[in-house]
Amino acid sequence: MSYQLIVLNGGSSSGKSRLARELQKVLPGPWLSLSIDDLVDAMPPSLVDDGSGISFGDQGEVSVGDGFGALEKAWMAGIAAMARAGARIVLDDVFLGGAQSQARMRAQLDGLNVLWVGVRCDPAIAAERERARGDRTPGMAALQAEVVHEGVGYDLEVDTGTTGTPECARAIAARAVGQGVPPSSAQ
């Protein structure tokens, strides 16, 4: 099977963005790397912390409103259109709603070959990464570490807390190009 999209789902600071960059190095041909952070960064200031867009609580909570939902739907339609036009895409996302988030994305990506990858990381490791980054609300990594995976179906899962990013990327790339996954690399 030839995949058009690789969706990486994991909590904040689980290693998704690093993994996406590593995948671009090991996958054959060019792959675009897009992130939910790209959408958040592109949002107008009026939709940040106003209740209709996206807001970040003092303990790391993330809340999204209808304004964010509308933009996210358009964002996903655009990603699907790029994939249908021939672009291969690695998308890193955070399924705050677990299975519901995946269902919304599946509807937008209907008819495309998607490799669904769970990116796991021990909450303590993710929290340490979050602290070292300094660009996230403290507590976000620990709050999201498990909830983003609830009810989500994956083709493959990797753990960036126990396995290096290059090895995780090789396991995903092997699955993406149809060569299977070496047992020592799968999590």
Per-residue pLDDT of the chain (187 residues; tens, 9 = 90+): 689 999 999 999 999 999 999 999 999 999 999 999 999 989 888 887 667 888 787 887 888 888 888 999 999 999 999 999 999 999 999 999 999 999 999 999 999 999 999 999 999 999 999 889 877 788 888 889 999 999 999 999 999 999 999 999 999 999 998 754 333 333 3
Domain boundaries, the chain: 5-176
Q: How many CB atoms lie within 10 A of CB 187?
A: 17
- 54, two tokens: 């996206």
Largest CA distance in the chain: 48
Helix (H, G, I), strand (E, B) or coil at 163: coil
- Spot the catalytic one: 37, 49, 50, 92: 37
Among 1.20.120.80, 3.40.50.300, 1.10.150.20, 3.60.21.10, name the CATH number for the domain at 5-176.
Answer: 3.40.50.300
Rounded to a whole number of angstroms, the distance between the first and last alpha carbons of the chain is 21
Residues 67, 52 contacting (CB under 8 angstroms): yes
Is 37 annotated in the active site? yes
- 8, two tokens: 């990486």
